[in-house]
Structure 1
Amino acid sequence: MVVARDEDGKTGPVELEVTEILKFTTDKARIQIHTKNDVYYFPFDSLEKIQNILQALNLPFVRADRGNLINMDKVIEIDEKFAKVYFEGDKPGERGKDATVSRPTNYKRVLALFRERQGRTNR
């Protein structure tokens, strides 16, 4: 996936592997792409367009709330009390970045997918 390191794209394009992406976020003015250690910018103007593309490619990204599109393969923990997901930090098992999940709209779906993926990895 081609992205930019700065929001205006002045530093030129950067090739980013989709599997490295933790989440996409938006503040309605721009789309940010978060990896474990960096933030990139994307030329699309809505998470819905990105979600459609990722779903067409059968990639494990799910809408968490209106501002977050998360990679379920990268979620290591769900905070059920505060409706947040956490991604792996710098060390295995360590919490890194997080994303909020809307209740009740998307929370049950995200929780079910997380538990399903946990079941697959624990076998």
Structure 2
Amino acid sequence: MIKTISATLDEKGNSGIINVLVDEVYYLGVESRSSMILLETPSRTYYTPGTLNYWTHVLNRSGYHFHIADRSNSINISKIVEVDERYKIAFFDKHDRSKKCTMSSTGKREVMELLSQTNTPYVLL
């Protein structure tokens, strides 16, 4: 199982490579201007090259539970603590609502099913 992803603090890589713990990643996002994947963590955003499909597949084959929730986000199922069913938003911290991820209608339905299958504790809003 991989434990880290090599990433940078900026899109151009000026910071050099930083290893980001996969266990800290809330979700993967797409940076359309630069074709980079965003790694959203509690403390900051990191950048790595690749596609959403590629990273979701690699992480799932490495023992994690990521799911593409809409065309630009792949959610780490084990990090969800609350789901707003009406607005289709997943939250990752009960006390800080700034880290959130949108879902499509189909994505929300699939995420809810995965949450029940993996026995991930969460609150439905």
Letter paired with 1:107: K
Could you tell me how far apart the structure 1 residues matched to 2:57 and 2:112 are? 21
* TM-score for both structures, normalised by structure 1: 0.85
Letter paired with 2:37: I
Could you tell me how far apart the structure 2 residues matched to 1:26 and 1:76 are? 22
Question: Structure 1 residue 114: deviation in Å?
Answer: 2.4
Letter paired with 2:86: K
Letter paired with 2:42: K
* Residue-pair matches, total: 113
* Structure-1 residue corresponding to 2:113: 112
Secondary structure in 2 matching 1:109 = helix
* Structure-2 residue corresponding to 1:94: 95
Secondary structure in 1 matching 2:59 = helix
Could you tell me how far apart the structure 1 residues matched to 2:85 and 2:7 are? 32
Letter paired with 1:102: S
* Structure-1 residue corresponding to 2:9: 5
* Structure-2 residue corresponding to 1:71: 76
1:48 aligns with 2:53: yes
Could you tell me how far apart the structure 2 residues matched to 1:10 and 1:86 are? 30
* Structure-1 residue corresponding to 2:38: 32
Letter paired with 1:10: N
Secondary structure in 2 matching 1:12 = coil
Letter paired with 2:96: R
Question: Structure 1 residue 27: deviation in Å?
Answer: 3.3
Question: Structure 1 residue 30: deviation in Å?
Answer: 2.1
Secondary structure in 2 matching 1:106 = helix
Secondary structure in 1 matching 2:120 = helix
Question: Structure 1 regions of 5+ residues with no counterpart?
Answer: none
What value does the CA root-mean-square deviation take over the aligned residues?
Answer: 1.5
